[in-house]
Amino acid sequence: MTGSKRWLVLGIFVLSSAINYLDRQSLATLAPPVRAEFHLSYEEYGLILTAFSITYAACAPFAGLLIDRIGLDRAIMSAVALWSLAGIATGFTTGLASLIVCRAVLGLAEAAGIPAAGKAIHHYLLPAERAVGNAVNQTGVSLGLVLAPPVATWIALWQGWRATFIVTGILGLLWLPLWSRTARLAPAVPFPKEPLGQDLGILRSRRLWAFVLANALSMIGYSFWTNFTVSYLVDVHRVTLAEAARYAWIPFAFAAIGGFAGGWLSLSWIARGLTAVAARTRACGVAAVLSLATAAIPWLPTPLLSAAGISLAMGTVAAFSVNMYTLPLDTFGGARAAFAVSILVAAYGAVQALISPAFGAIIDQYGFAPVCRIAAAAPLAAFGVLKWSE
């Protein structure tokens, strides 16, 4: 397959990542009206995030094994269909309990998204290109995050917040025939299937568990800002939902820029002779140091300046993340690519499940400043774990 065709096929696949994050980000965008209608505190809102995160974390390893076993195409189409239906069902919820159920099903299905992307990146790209491939996938993620504030807000102001979830769910269903046609044009050649015991054997790897801990730490800021940016702007700067939407997309655009910067850094260092693992670890270190500056976000006096500070936070986390999610591909190979990445996905889901209600309770009591400091410092701790495990 030619280089241009490989990137085109990956680009079509990455649209599923955009839809994935548009679906999940719609709730964060519409948190103020949803919380108001159902009379939810921040701690209760955190419980909804936890419901998503628990199933996301618990199901990710099984999703990774399934992708490696049944193949990329069948797995991703099943996952997109299920998460689209869960998104549509969210538009018909009647309270906290039904919201929790819908988000739990969404987490179950979306657990397959990033492992499937890892499988696609390993299949279609050359080894040196894979961090850039993860940056392309980060662009898809960022596209969903960027579109969520204006699109979800516009639909909510036009037809109510429930219509937003129905529309975004339908978009996922429309992606299915597009990928079906693309998959026939460039079918994925399956890797030889290893015995299940060998797949699970990587769980004995000390290096894998270092990746798990580092990813959990590095994604604390990502989880926080993807779920609380709109709420932060509305509550701290006293703007309306429509006004918050003018700013809330900016950080997620910078996440795409940060992702490409991180991918380019590791690619350039590989070209200069560093090993892939060393180059990606160094790029994570640069991102971690830059992230420390985001501790100052609570002292920024305007919504625009806050959006700029959050943009730096998201950009640095994305630069860290595209390299972090490439390290298992470098280390464990293509036959176990989805499973290896899925363990990192599970770590992200687990840490989000733990911190969401805890952060919500801290915000209810003390405001956003303590949480911002934690999010700023966490990537540096993650880099320390990577260096310790070398």
Q: Does residue 345 surpass a pLDDT of 60? A: yes
pLDDT at position 148 is: 87
Instruction: Measure the CA–CA gap between 215 and 70, rounded to whole angstroms.
Output: 27
Given pLDDT bands bounded at 50, 70 and 90, which one contains residue 372? very high
Rounded (10°) CA dihedral 388, 315, 13, 86: 90
Residue positions counted in the chain = 390
Cα 13 from Cα 80, distance rounded (Å): 11
The pLDDT of residue 312: 97
Q: For residue 67, what pLDDT is reported? A: 86
Kindly tell me if the per-residue pLDDT of 298 is higher than 90.
Answer: yes
Render pLDDT for 87-103 as a digit per residue (tens, 0 to 9).
999 999 998 999 999 99
Q: Residue 118 pLDDT > 90, yes or no?
A: no
Q: Which two structure tokens, joined as six digits, stand for 378? A: 């966490």
Question: What contacts 174, CB < 8 A, 6 or more positions away?
Answer: none
Which range is least confidently modeled, 130-134, 153-157, 227-231?
130-134
Rounded CA gap, 312 and 295, in Å? 11
Q: Is the pLDDT of residue 128 over 90?
A: no
Task: Say which amino acid occupies 181.
Answer: R
Phi-psi bin for 273: left (phi > 0), alpha (psi -120 to 50), beta? left
**What average pLDDT does range 319-345 have in this prediction?**
83
The domains located in the chain, with CATH, are 3-183+196-389 (1.20.1250.20)
Non-local CB neighbours of 53 within 8 Å, separated by 6+ positions: 107, 349, 350, 352, 353, 356
Tell me: pLDDT of 3 over 80: no
The model's pTM = 0.75
With CA atoms as reference, report the closest residue to 143 among 243, 249, 72: 249
Please, which pLDDT band fits residue 209 given cuts at 50, 70 and 90?
A: very high
Confidence tier at 188 by pLDDT (50, 70, 90): low
The tokens describing 268, both together, are 């350039």
Whole-number Å distance between alpha carbons of 179 and 329? 23
d(CA 257, CA 142): 9
- For residue 192, pLDDT over 60 is answered with no
Task: Give whole-number Cα distances, 73 to 13, 68, 76, in Å.
Answer: 10, 11, 6
SS3 300: coil
Lowest mean pLDDT among 71-75, 166-170, 227-231, 280-284: 71-75
Average pLDDT value for residue range 51-59 = 91
